[in-house]
Chains A and B, each alone.
Chain A
Amino acid sequence: WVPVVGLEIHAQISSNSKLFSGSQVQFAAPPNSLVSFFDASLPGTLPVLNRRCVEAAVMTGLALNCSINKKSLFDRKHYFYADLPAGYQITQQRVPIAVNGSLSYNLCVDNKMSQMVTKTVRIKQIQLEQDSGKSLHDDTRSQTLVDLNRAGRLGLFSYFSSPFCVVMEPDMCCGEEAAAAVRELQLILQTLGSSQAVMAEGQLRVDANVSVHHPGEPYGVRTEVKNINSIRFLAKAVDYEIQRQIEELENGGTILNETRAFDAKLGCTVPMRDKEGKQDYRFMPEPNLPPLILYDAKSLPANMNHQQVVNIDWIHERLPDLPSVKRAKLVERYGILPEHSFALLNEDGLTEFFENVVKQTQMKPKKVIGWILNVLLSYLKQHSLTVKESPVSSFILADLLNLLEKKEISSTAAKQVLAELWKGEGKTPLEIVKEKKLELIQDQKELDQICQAVIDGQENEVMAIKAGNLKVLNKLIGLVQRETQGRSNPVLVKQLLEKKLSE
């Protein structure tokens, strides 16, 4: 079986205004508090296009290697649904603002970060679109409460809400690929500033189109899976649906062209409403919005007010570095591994943190990265904190790493200090080191005495080592460590012991 997965991603633009109507956008506001007259589809109101949304869509289109249509049109897509106050959605499905792009993303092979594979998914189009309001079905009273706040929010495919929708061709084959592609898109959107793209806050909504077929045969019937609230669930939902379809077909059943909702609790998909096959959306040009005309440097009329137009070339010049470029630069500049660069970019603010530490410490970036990714990051994850919320600042960490670099403390001690620092009590690393007496013993004579004492006390082990079993040396090192309460530099200790034992 060959599974085929396509995605429709609706991104909410991080702008103050909803796509067409000038209302404020704010997550978790009480229902209907942010609705403007147009969003509630009060009669007589007209849509007005938001420039920022257009720019965001163009930026995203350029970042995804799309051709930008200098002229794109708006249509009405009609259907009745409680969360669609006007009875139609304004969309650019037929002649959208950007088409034919591509997105490259990376997958770990067998979950090993060290083996990454680059894949590409084609972007069919990017269209400006409204998003519907949220529909909260209250079954007990069989009423539908309509939350019109979400209505009008900028988004991609949706009505009113997202300013634009990115449609990905069915080039993906499993949940993992879908998740990776979305993750990369998320990073791109965040980098462009077009969207915060946080799925949990509804800023990014992903609908998956899934079908299966036998190799060489035409594509199977597809279903649309909605109600996916995180990237993790996206992978799950897609994989579940693929499995479900395969099982269904192998048991002689058929797949219906329908819309299914992902149930996060049960980890499965359930049928929703009938999908496009049966619906005639009665597309009609939106008469209240003239065609959207974009300009580039060549086509821009000389006397046109800069404020009135969107200039593609101008936007292109101002595109920030995309994630793939950023990652390459990090690898080149700091000599870290590619998978490190992925990890850095994946966590909001981590790259900056890393670079700040590197600036303030003598420790080589290659070593710093270990502290950042293995130690700091795991602390953050354990406590569900973002980098911004870290009680340990880059300055303090750099301080600590400097102590380590100067060999004033051991690696183990450093970790202990970090644990203390994490409490956020405002003490400096040096203060903690002194407090807990974690300094490495610098006195050569003292160290020498302790080593000698250990050797003297471990006759059997010494004999084993002299006989060639070098592993036992570690035991001696360990004993020295214990004796010094971890305040000895293991490398130094090893040298001393070896020297003594070879005498």
Chain B
Amino acid sequence: QVAAALKKGHVTPTELCQRCLALIKSTQFLNAYITVAEETALKQAEESEKRYKSGQPLGVLDGIPVAVKDNFNTAGIETTCASNMLKGYISPYNATVVQKLLDQGAVLLGKTNLDEFAMGSGSTDGVFGPVRNPWSYSRQYKEKSVRKPHSDSEESNWVITGGSSGGSAAAVSSFTCFAALGSDTGGSTRNPAAHCGVVGLKPTYGLISRHGLIPLVNSMDVPGILTRCVDDAAVVLGSLAGHDPKDSTTIQDNFKPFELPNLPDVSKLSIGIPKEYHAPGLSSEILALWSKAADLFKDAGAKVIEVSLPHTRYSIVCYHVLCTAEVASNMARFDGLEYGHRSDMNKSTESMYAATRREGFNDVVRGRILSGNYFLLKQNYENYFIKAQKVRRLIANDFLKVFGSGVDILLTPTTLSDAVPYMEFIKEDNRTRSAQDDILTQAANMAGLPAINVPTALSERGLPVGLQFIGRSFQEKQLLTVAKWFEKQVKFPMIQLEEVKRHNHDVFQHEKSASFS
């Protein structure tokens, strides 16, 4: 939509950029952005404007303001991973996905906040502080929230975004950008998408290049896409997917970008409802929504059947072993020698390493490194790492079996509940939270499958709730088609934020989810 507007000249890239930048400023209390690249963004917008004026835009994304999670390398712009270890680190190169966006003319507004090194499910454990869910300040939430006689009720009542790509989700949700990149290792894109009421797509492992994405778990990480509607996600996917020689884990096959049909038809589909996803702790609200969604498909003529993924309950533990092992390995390079934080301790190389790593990493990171190294010790390798890999294979096979039996798409909840207030969230530690929150999203990472969160409805507290669709490997087109159909059915409401209204423009007012495509 906004792309159409740009093309027609109703709005210029510069205006668009400026508006977004202004909105970022007035929503600073959300803490969604770590770095705002104002100068470079405006320059990019200028370049884009020239192209539009001469009638030669690079494509749909030309001039579209986007944001990128701060664990993607961006040349010339600080990349911190929300960690002391990389504070002040300016990468000399762009991640492949960032480069692709820039090559399409997108305007990079800045780097978004996250849990330190993407470890967490709340976007609360980074050194720049927690990200606040924009919906905390929405009229919908305020109307429904219990009035406390406290004067700063708003302050203490704000809810989390979910994580770890909370900054990106908040940025998209609060209209400060039209699309954002996150990363997804155990649900880090879909989880905040659900809590912030936006579309969060986790593509198939190997479809999008990870070159330049600072890794958490190399065998599970993927770049994630956050947008306000499914069509937009398809557009971004089209510009990012494809083989990258710099990433040996991307598939060689040619990728053809696709457009989603306007009137998707789901009557010939088979939708699977995995019973194990009725997890303990699942709120009755979400359960009801899940059920309603299943009925929606049934009424449209689709076959809706209950299926079983029996090894689901082992996935948390399995994930924990494999994740910490890879983390321990991936974090080994942070020793202060070539880049990033370096401690003043200089008695010996080893003591410098130790001090640097203690100072540079938070508890969560250090904890995972220690666990991971433990699992990789020779005496433990067989019992932990190898076993976990075998279990991983079993989990992946569960999906293969189900998809092989004729099911096209799986429908599950994305989160156990709507977003909890920050004060409540921090009562439990990161590890406990992650273990709880990842349960519905993690298996897709283990199996490398594509999955997407579609905002579905508002909870009783006025906060977004989403549902998740999981598809077959590399069948993003089918997955997104189903998601689009569902999106049209549920007509998720637009967030009503003061700040957004203030920076209003026709473009933003158009339709409930102002998309760019």
Question: Contact partner of B215 among A40, A44, A78, A80, CB < 8 A?
Answer: A44
Size class of the A contact interface (CB-based, 8 Å): 20 to 34
Given A43-B333, A78-B332, residue A144 in contact with residue B213 (CB < 8 A): no
Residue of A41, A43, A80 near B73 (CB, 8 A) is A43
Q: Is A31's beta carbon under 8 Å from chain B?
A: no
Flag if B214 contacts A43 (CB, 8 Å): yes
Q: Quick one: CB contact mask for B452-485 with A, threshold 8 Å, 1 for yes?
A: 0000000000000000000000000000000000
From B13-21, B89-97, B123-131, B253-261, the one touching the partner chain is B89-97
Say yes or no: is A290 at the interface (Cβ < 8 Å to chain B): yes
Chain B's closest residue to A37 (CB) is B93
Interface residue from B211, B333, B381 paired with A85 (Cβ < 8 Å) = B333
- How far apart are the CA atoms of A76 and B212 in the complex, in Å? 20
Whether A87 lies near B333 (C-beta < 8 A) is yes
Given contacts A82-B349, A284-B376, A288-B248, whether A46 and B339 have CB atoms under 8 Å apart is: no
Assess whether A255 is interfacial by the CB under 8 Å rule: no
A44 lies within 8 A of B381 (CB): no
- A146 contacts B91, C-beta separation under 8 Å: no
Interface check A280, CB cutoff 8 A: yes
Interface residues as binary, A103-131 with B (CB distance below 8 Å gives 1, 0 otherwise)? 00000000000000000000000000000
Q: Is the CB of B329 within 8 A of A78?
A: yes
Contact yes or no, B326 A287, CB < 8 A: yes
Name B346's contact: one of A46, A48, A142, A282 (CB within 8 Å).
A142
Determine the distance from Cα of A287 to Cα of B322 in the docked complex, in whole angstroms: 11
Q: Is B218 interfacial (CB 8 A cutoff)?
A: yes
Contact with B329, one of A47, A88, A308 (Cβ below 8 angstroms): A88
Q: Is B359's CB within 8 Å of the partner chain A?
A: no
By beta carbon, the residue of chain B nearest A43 is: B214
Closest to A308 in B: B252
Q: Shortest Cβ distance from B314 into chain A, in angstroms?
A: 20
Residues of B within 8 A of A287 (CB): 217-219, 249, 326
| Chain B, range 247-292, C-beta contacts under 8 Å to A | 247-249, 252
Residues of A within 8 A of B331 (CB): 87
Complex contacts, A283 vs chain B, CB 8 Å: 376, 378, 381
Instruction: Report B291 CB to chain A, min CB distance, Å.
Output: 38
Q: How far is the CB of A79 from chain B (nearest CB, A)?
A: 9
A328 CA / B333 CA spacing, docked (Å)? 51
CA distance A284 to B380 in the complex (A): 12
Tell yes or no: B234 within 8 A of A by CB. Answer: no
> Does B377 sit within 8 A of A, measured CB to CB?
yes
Which of chain A's residues 272-288 have a Cβ closer than 8 Å to chain B?
Answer: 280, 282-284, 287-288
- Taking the closest CB of chain A, its distance from the CB of B86, in whole angstroms, is 7
| A280 to B373 Cα, complex, angstroms | 10
* A143 / chain B contacts, CB cutoff of 8 Å: 346
Q: CA–CA, A76 to B247, complex, Å?
A: 17
Roughly how many angstroms separate A289 CA and B91 CA in the complex, as a whole number? 23
Is there contact, CB below 8 Å, between B246 and A46? yes
A44-B91, A44-B215, A76-B329 known; A282-B335 Cβ under 8 A: no
Asked whether A87 lies within 8 Å of B214 as measured between CB atoms, the reply is no
**Using Cβ atoms and an 8 Å threshold, which residues of chain B touch A148?**
338
Please tell me if the beta carbons of B92 and A88 are within 8 angstroms of each other in the complex: no
CB distance from A40 to the nearest CB of B (A): 5
Within 8 A of B (CB), among A254-296: 280, 282-284, 287-290
In the bound complex, how far is the Cα of B378 from the Cα of A424, in angstroms? 65
Contact of A41 among B213, B338, B349, B376 (CB under 8 A): B338
In the complex, how many angstroms separate the beta carbon of B320 from the nearest chain A beta carbon?
Answer: 15
A46 touching B211 by the CB < 8 A rule?
Answer: yes
Contacts of B86 in A (CB 8 A): 43
The smallest C-beta distance from A77 to any residue of chain B, in angstroms, reads 10
8 Å CB interface, A125-169 against B: 142-144, 146, 148
Q: How far is the CA of A49 from the CA of B73 in the complex (A)?
A: 22
Q: Which of B217, B252, B353, B376 has the most CB of A within 10 A?
A: B376
Interface pair B332/A88, CB less than 8 Å apart:
yes
Pick the residue among A85, A142, A284 that contacts B338 (CB under 8 A): A85
Mark interface residues in A67-82 (1 if CB within 8 Å of B CB, else 0).
Answer: 0000000001010101
CA distance A290 to B205 in the complex (A): 13
Smallest CB separation, B323 vs chain A (Å):
12
CA distance A288 to B213 in the complex (A): 12
Q: A333–B219 Cα gap in the complex (Å)?
A: 58
Chain A residues with CB under 8 Å of B347's CB are 142
Interface membership of chain B positions 338-364, coded 1 if the CB is closer than 8 angstroms to chain A and 0 otherwise: 110000001111100100000000000
**Chain B proximity of A41: nearest CB distance (Å):** 4
Task: For A88, list chain B residues within 8 Å (CB).
Answer: 329, 332
Known contacts A44-B215, A289-B248; is-contact A82 B332 (Cβ 8 Å):
no
What is the CB-to-nearest-CB distance from A136 to chain B, in angstroms, rounded to a whole number? Answer: 13
Instruction: Verify if A45 is at the interface (C-beta below 8 Å from B).
Output: yes
A87 to chain B: closest CB distance in Å?
3
Whether a CB of chain B sits under 8 angstroms from the CB of A34 is no
Judged by a CB distance under 8 angstroms, whether A221 is at the interface is no
Residue A470 at the B interface, CB < 8 A? no
A86, CB-defined interface residue at 8 Å: yes
Closest-CB distance, A381 to chain B (whole angstroms): 44
Please provide the 6 A-B residue pairs with the shortest distance between their CB atoms, ordered closest to farther. A87-B332, A282-B376, A287-B218, A287-B219, A86-B333, A43-B214
- Which residues of B pack against A, CB within 8 Å? 72-73, 79, 81, 86, 91-93, 95, 210-215, 217-219, 245-249, 252, 325-326, 328-329, 331-335, 337-339, 346-350, 353, 373, 376-378, 381, 385
12 contacts between A and B (CB under 8 A): A42-B339, A43-B81, A43-B334, A44-B72, A46-B210, A46-B246, A48-B247, A80-B350, A82-B349, A85-B338, A87-B329, A288-B248
